[in-house]
Structure 1
């Protein structure tokens, strides 16, 4: 199936675009991306929290010195969705250093920018997730800021590969002090005695789905140790792609029923599909 993408200011067929094999971003991961979702709703379709995602992308571009226009990427996102006639879709904006050589002085380089949309299903699936404590550490914020910088996600891929080699579906990062950070592509929540707690850690991505669930659930945000997480009644993960994913196992421990996370999952679906009028401000129709 042919897809249209927005590429350097115009809608083009994806087959007609390409990246130079010596693009700096290809070799060093010097780029910034976002993951955004659009959902069909009773009135058509809308993008969920588009401006919040682009605000975060702007922070990543500022960190790397990449020029970025929120207004341009917002318009490009809606144009791509219309061109592809997508209603339920995943949206991938990307800006990378692509022209000017392989040196590390990025100020002299030129950028390529694109926005793509594609059909999507939650990447952790609809079943309960098998989660394992990873031997890998999360990138520390003192080395790489916790934003969606392309090269930083090698850290996630290494941890995910190690986890899946042992039969698990996702990996959990902790720091050297045993505090929970996040998973390879999701933030972490726990439920204890009916209370919803969002794991807070300075090395974790400031998740937009995380912020959504905190508001919907009235959740407390605070640091959580691995030992405390292991004693939780429920564990669930949040992310744009994963949405709200229930954890069924943490290493050898099988968790029981997940009534709180299931109810939050239903509420989240009502919000993103425009069935909750009180949250309509999070939706950008197209």
Structure 2
């Protein structure tokens, strides 16, 4: 049943994590969505909660999923990770594009000569197991591979590789209002990594201080998110999202050289072409973005988030545009299991 866009405030609910939350039911494009907001509460610790984490081949109690303070990756930043979402679909909980996310984790390890000691199939099953063990319906999943504490020094030779997988409820990364009304973005003074100094195809922990600085700068100035340029001054991506603009009915993305090849990005390109839109990839300048008819971010966390303003310039009409709305609606149809064409992108947790 399609429902009108809006927000329904639900009662305070107990959860199996031992905390109390306020839930919000949102209906972007008419699709039901439960948005727990406990993750934004400063006093909530990621370390101190109930549940289970998959660690090196087995489930362990959440509080016992620990590693030594001299672990190599803590000191040198060489850890690879993924961000994955599971949705409460019409056929039960399912993980969106699980195979692609898991392969990207393995590829990230390969780029940095990290031999992850589990097959793709084992890692995929482990992610399903974590969601089941924590009795989650909609959630965010974080696989992470890192080096152990056998040695220090920049070389990783002789250091063991460990893998953890955690999952927890997570609502709209850039806010539920952002999904509907759009967000305000600031072009960052920080430059995205050069392609020969950091490998942009890898989702590497050490790449993210660049994003942290850009995000802190933007949010500290009153914006919602940052947009980074590459070392030549062309548009790269958000601090944790890919960018698209709409101009004269065409959907345009920046050349992907210095940006992560996002899986949600690929999803949106596929859906846009299905809907009959031309999708182009070319260099974009910041003034191309200023003059766009519409703009939006995509990402596993951000999903499809409209941009209403960049550097105090209104984008289009200053709210979510019609093409963004169509793409957002179609995206939520797909991830909620209401699009039979794309059911192969959904891996049922109990299947």
TM range, smaller chain: over 0.9
Measure the CA separation in 2 of the matches of 1:26 and 1:177.
Answer: 31
- Decide whether the 8 Å contact of 1:6 with 1:115 is kept in 2: yes
1:273 aligns with 2:307: no
Aligned to 2:105: 57
Aligned to 2:151: 101
Aligned to 1:229: 289
Measure the CA separation in 1 of the matches of 2:286 and 2:195.
Answer: 20
Residues 25-70 of structure 1 show CA distances to partners (whole Å, capped at 9, x for unaligned) of: 1111110000000001111111000111111111111122222221
Aligned to 2:272: 217
Measure the CA separation in 1 of the matches of 2:282 and 2:270.
Answer: 14
1:34 to 50, 69, 82: 82
2:218 to 148, 157, 163: 163
Aligned ranges 1:1-286 → 2 under 5 Å: 1=17, 2-68=50-116, 69-126=119-176, 127=178, 128-146=182-200, 147-218=202-273, 219-255=279-315, 256=317, 257=319, 258-286=321-349
Residues 167-225 of structure 1 show CA distances to partners (whole Å, capped at 9, x for unaligned) of: 11111111243311001000000011121112223000000000000010022222222
Q: Which structure is higher in RCO with an 8 Å CA cutoff and minimum separation 6?
A: 1
- Decide whether the 8 Å contact of 1:248 with 1:254 is kept in 2: yes
- Decide whether the 8 Å contact of 2:192 with 2:231 is kept in 1: no
Specify whether residues 25 and 176 from structure 1 end up closer, same or farther in structure 2 by C-alpha distance, changes over 3 A only.
closer
Residues 213-259 of structure 1 show CA distances to partners (whole Å, capped at 9, x for unaligned) of: 00100222222222211110101000000000010110111221411
Measure the CA separation in 2 of the matches of 1:201 and 1:279.
Answer: 25
With the length of structure 1 as denominator, give the TM-score of the two structures.
0.97
**RMSD over aligned Cα, in angstroms?**
1.1
- Decide whether the 8 Å contact of 2:193 with 2:231 is kept in 1: no
- Decide whether the 8 Å contact of 2:80 with 2:145 is kept in 1: yes
With the length of structure 2 as denominator, give the TM-score of the two structures.
0.80
- Decide whether the 8 Å contact of 1:198 with 1:214 is kept in 2: no
Give the length in aligned residue pairs.
Answer: 286
Residues 119-160 of structure 1 show CA distances to partners (whole Å, capped at 9, x for unaligned) of: 011211122211011000011111111121011101100111
SS at match of 1:178: coil
Residues 63-88 of structure 1 show CA distances to partners (whole Å, capped at 9, x for unaligned) of: 22222221221111011011011110
SS at match of 2:292: coil
- Decide whether the 8 Å contact of 2:191 with 2:230 is kept in 1: yes
Task: List, as ranges, runs of 4+ consecutive aligned residues in structure 1 with deviation greater than 3 Å.
Answer: none
